[in-house]
Structure 1
Amino acid sequence: MNLAFFKKKDSLHRLQERDTYQSSIELTLYNQDLRKQADMLHLQEDDLLILKSIQPLMAPYIDQLVDQFYENLQNEHSLTDIIRTHSSIDRLKNTLKIHILETFEGQVNHEFVSKRQRIAWRHVKIGLQPKWYMCAFQELLLSISDILASLLPTPEEYRLAVKAVNKIFSLEQQLVLEAYEAESERAQRETEHVKERVREEVNLVASQLAAILETTNSSVSQLSGRTQDLATLAGLALETAVQTETAATKGMEDLDHHQRLMNRIQQSTEQIIDKITVLHHVSNEINSIVNIVKSIAEQTNLLALNAAIEAARAGDSGKGFAVVANEVRKLAEETKVSVSGVSNLILKINEQIAITSECIGEVASLTKESNEQMHEMNRYFETVLGSINENKEQNERTQQELSRVASQIQEASRAVSEIAGSAEQLKSLSSQI
């Protein structure tokens, strides 16, 4: 191959000698497949010399190439979205300038291969599809071909240059696409591994969820049964509270009735005490009168005795008077005896009045004490009745709350059943992942 194809023409091109770039080119591929690929492309050191010779000619057009490249990318919104998400156009332009110049460096070695592989991995990572990479790469190749057509003076020079560019671009495409494929396969394997782990985790979670739901369902059923029992007990407690309230109300009414009776007894006792007091006063007055009568009888007896003495002195003329005096004396004695009997009777009456007054006093004291106890019992019954009413209201609230809880438990039971169905669906879907 004639490497001295860049002949002088209007001082634009000058002959490039082999020795000028021979020491700077390298074609070293240790991978057997890569060597075969290079051989099938007929990529040789002469091609690398041509690329290295073209590099100074392409350098002034790098900015134009890059600007045209990214202007064309803006026609696809998904590509611009990827750029904005992961980098910037200015930054990528600088990277592409370096990359294009390195393509014409004439260096195909381990670093060349590694860099293309990293590019592919980066493309896969950011989600750039191979079709857009191929389109962009083809656009870049066409632009370079157009520039070379304007720079090289003869068709033969153009043919050799384009041929070398196509070879290096083809190798780069193969490297990138192979790395694309390898990375995609790795990502696919990783995805499958993740899917398998997800399936296992989902199956495990579904199984655990099913076991938990079974236990929960059993617990909910037991809780529902116990709630029903509690509701029944609350109903019985409410019924008992109502009965107790009725009995307490009746007891309080009976207590009020007995209290009214005790009040009447107390009033009657007080009236009896008042009457006994009056009777005692009357008895005392009678006793005073009896004493007066007794005194009069004694004086009458004394007068009769004196009259008898005087009649005896008078002799026969005083016999009639003596008889009268004797009768008066007898009457005085009888009066005295009768008055003494009345006095004894009054004394006994006073004794009975005193005993009766003492008994009535005790009755009055007991009645007063009982009345106070009745008042205390009444207050106690009011407290008990208030507690019973509060207990009844609490039982009513408890029954309502238990009814609400029972309703919520039924909803929870339905939710558990729905979750169990969802767990089965989840397990079924996991097998389709």
Structure 2
Amino acid sequence: MRMIDLTKEDLAQLQQVKPILERNIDYIIDHFYDSVLGVRKLEAIIKEHSSIERLKKTLRDHIIEIFDGNVNEEYIAKRLHIANIHKRVGLEPKWYLSAFQNLQNVFITVIHNEASNDQERVAFVQTVTKLLNLEQQLVLEEYEKENIREKELQYQTVKNELKQKIAEFSGELVDLSIDTNAAVEQLVASSNEVNDTFKRTAASAQESQEMAQDGREHLSDLTERINYIYKRSEAMELSVNELSSSSKQIQKIVAAVQEIADQTKILSLNATIEAARAGEHGRGFAIVAQEVSRLAEDTKSTVVLIGELTSKSGLLSQQVVEEIRKVQELTKSGKHKSMETSRLFSEIVEAMQSSTQEIVTVEEEIRTLIQTIEGIGSTTAQSASSAVFFKSATENL
């Protein structure tokens, strides 16, 4: 009031202006609402919350009360109440100021028409504008306070909602972090078990590779031995064939000797006959003929026995040849089998070398995976710690 220089003299002067406004009150009110109803938004607010007739009566009482000149606590409380009503119905400050300016213009027009001289007009207009300015100050200040209060309520509501959401999110994040950390720890443990299994598998594969290599070397040695046996059996077959050929020659010789023995026996028989014919003179010759005959008989028996033995030897040689041929067939088949098995062993060794290398590669990849999982676990633990701190900070908002 001091800044706008609203003095007690001004309030007293309002008593002089009041009769002028009372005489023109209907004109003032009608002119005011004609301009207000020209704005659709203001018309909608009036129809929604009140009526024109009611508001006209309220404005009439309000104007007359203004010019009573009683600016006290009750006067101020009523203006603040009016401001709260305007705020509640959604009347924006710009519409309030516009409407008040319109009202002020009507006041000035009426005063200008009713005042007796220019000095009186100026004094009345200054007093009215000061009072209307005070009205605007009170209403706009209450508008501002109400806006601040609403913003604080809105801020507190948003803050509480945000706090609740953050708290819920933080709790879920903590639980999720704990579950994730536990899952990561389990995954690390499982990965370590898989890694140990791969290590054992790699060791077994290397041992199997070494055993396969040894087996291939033994098989190579066996193949050489089979080849040696095969060659020796061929030499043996040649020797047995030569023995069989010798047996046949012996049989021919035996046959010739047997024939000689038969002829010798015949000659001995003839000699004995001739000795008998000679009588006493042929006795000695007869004895010789007998010995020759006996020797021929013994020779024949021996030759027969040798023939039987050589015949049996020939049969046995033939059987030995057949068995040697069977052995040759078996060794030849064994040689092919041994070569095929050696080839398979070579392929097995190569496959196991490749498998062992792949296992080693997988082991390295698993080791890298374990390190990555452990890194994720560390990050998850940090996230859990951050979530706990975040939740604690939220509770302190």
Q: Please indicate the TM-score interval, normalised by the length of the shorter structure.
A: 0.5 to 0.7
Give the alignment partner of residue 337 of structure 1, picking from 297, 301, 321: 301
1:12-411 residue pairs with structure 2 within 5 A?
21=27, 24-26=30-32, 42=67, 117-120=90-93, 157=121, 178-302=142-266, 332-411=296-375
* TM-aligned CA distance change 1:350 to 1:394, over 3 Å: same
Distance in 2 of aligned mates of 1:161 and 1:300: 194
How many corresponding residue pairs?
334
- Matched residues in 1 for 2:56 and 2:183: separation? 67
Q: Call closer, same or farther: CA 1:157–1:351 in 2, change over 3 Å.
A: same
Per-residue deviation, 1:307: 6.6
C-alpha contact (below 8 Å) 1:117/1:176 kept by paired residues: no
Deviates more, 1:159-168 or 1:207-216: 159-168
Query: Offset at 1:181?
Result: 4.0
- In the alignment, the residues of structure 2 paired with residue 221 and residue 193 of structure 1 have an alpha-carbon distance, to the nearest angstrom, of 41
TM-score relative to the length of structure 2: 0.64
Determine the C-alpha separation between the residues in 1 that align with 2:191 and 2:270. 113
- Give the deviation of 1:353 after TM superposition: 1.4
Question: What is the Cα deviation at residue 343 of structure 1?
Answer: 0.9
1:39/1:334 CA distance change after superposition, 3 Å: farther
Partner secondary structure for residue 30 of structure 2: coil
SS in 2 for 1:24: helix
Whichever residue aligns with residue 171 of structure 2, its letter is S
The offset of 1:200, in angstroms, is 1.3
Q: Do structure 1's residue 426 and structure 2's residue 385 form an aligned pair?
A: no
Q: Deviations over 1:281-338 (max 9, x none)?
A: 2222332333233334434544565676678789999989877776665554444333
Between the aligned partners of 1:271 and 1:329, the Cα distance in structure 2 is 45
Percent of pairs with identical residues: 23
The residue identity in structure 2 corresponding to 1:361 is: R
Distance 2:60 2:382 in 1: 63
Which stretch of structure 1 is more off in the superposition, 171-180 or 330-339?
171-180
Distance 1:35 1:18 in 2: 11
Maintained 8 Å contact 1:259/1:371: yes
Residue 241 of structure 2 aligns with an amino acid whose one-letter code is T
Q: Aligned equivalents of 1:415 and 1:114: distance in 2?
A: 53
**For residues 240 and 68 of structure 2, what CA distance do their matches in structure 1 show?**
152
Q: Is the 8 A contact 1:224 1:406 kept in 2?
A: yes
Further displaced range: 28-37 or 378-387: 28-37
1:300·1:329 contact (CA, 8 Å) conserved in 2? yes
- 330-339 or 24-33: bigger deviation: 24-33
Question: Between Structure 1 and Structure 2, which shows a larger proportion of helix residues?
Answer: 2
TM-superposition CA deviations, 1:5-54 (whole Å, max 9, x none): 9xxxxxxxxxxx9699568324778599999986775499xxxxxxxxxx
The separation in 2 between residues aligned to 1:341 and 1:279, in whole angstroms, is: 18
- How has the CA–CA distance of structure 1 residues 308 and 190 changed in structure 2, closer, same or farther, with 3 Å as cutoff? same
1:414 is aligned to 378
Closer/same/farther in 2, CA of residues 228 and 34 from structure 1, 3 Å limit: farther
Tell which has more relative contact order, 1 or 2 (C-alpha 8 A, sep 6+).
2
What is the CA distance between 1:208 and its match in structure 2? 2.3
Q: Once structures 1 and 2 are overlaid, which stretch shifts more, 296-305 or 384-393?
A: 296-305
Are the aligned partners of 2:29 and 2:60 in contact in 1 as well (CA < 8 Å)?
Answer: no
Q: What value does the CA root-mean-square deviation take over the aligned residues?
A: 4.8
Structure-1-length-normalised TM-score? 0.60
Q: 1:22 to 1:327 in 2, by over 3 A?
A: closer
